[in-house]
Amino acid sequence: MLRYFLFYKPYQVLTQFSAEGEKKTLAHFFKNIPKDVYPVGRLDFDSEGLLLLSNDKKLTQQLLEPRNKHERTYYVQVEGLLDEIARQKLEQGVEINVDGTLYKTLPSKAKIIEGEPHLPERNPPIRFRKNTPTSWLALTLCEGKNRQVRKMTAAVGFPTLRLVRYSIGAFNIEGWDSGQIEELDEQKIFSLFQKKKLSS
């Protein structure tokens, strides 16, 4: 039986079921699910947000295949006040280090968010610095290199402070709580990930 779970991964949770020291893992949140259900892609230990888990190998392959260019949007809090020059550079692509080699990221969508997005509080919260302003960015990518978002914002002079994956395909975490889980049926999951495109 094919199973599909969407999960709002909290900060400092490993995207794996196996234990690793004292760190929290997916096993702390998922109880009694089939052993063949695994995360589709990853989210770093220090990142938060939407994660898909499934035992549907065909869907996993389709979503992880770079040429299919499935969009993922991240809400990114950065140190400093983002400007139009930095935003345009992010959209056009910047050079980052990938496994010791310079790589230019594919064109993306970058939008400066006015104010703060509605997200659950992070635990522990970002350390407040009175004299250091911060700003928020919505960054939509169709590729997923290791720690790509953090490397991209650093490349334009704005280090990432908080990183939340807001959406995968058509599904987002609007109104969700950190740690929330929702199981979807096959019809719903394929409508979210554009069934025609996946099956083509």
Catalytically active residues are 44
Look at residues 163, 165, 154 and name the one whose alpha carbon lies nearest to residue 94. Answer: 154
Please return the burial class of 69, using the count of CB atoms within 10 Å of its CB with bins 0-12, 13-18 and 19+.
exposed
Is residue 124 reached through a cis peptide bond, with omega within 30 degrees of 0 on the bond before it? yes
Residue labelled with tokens 């004299």: 131
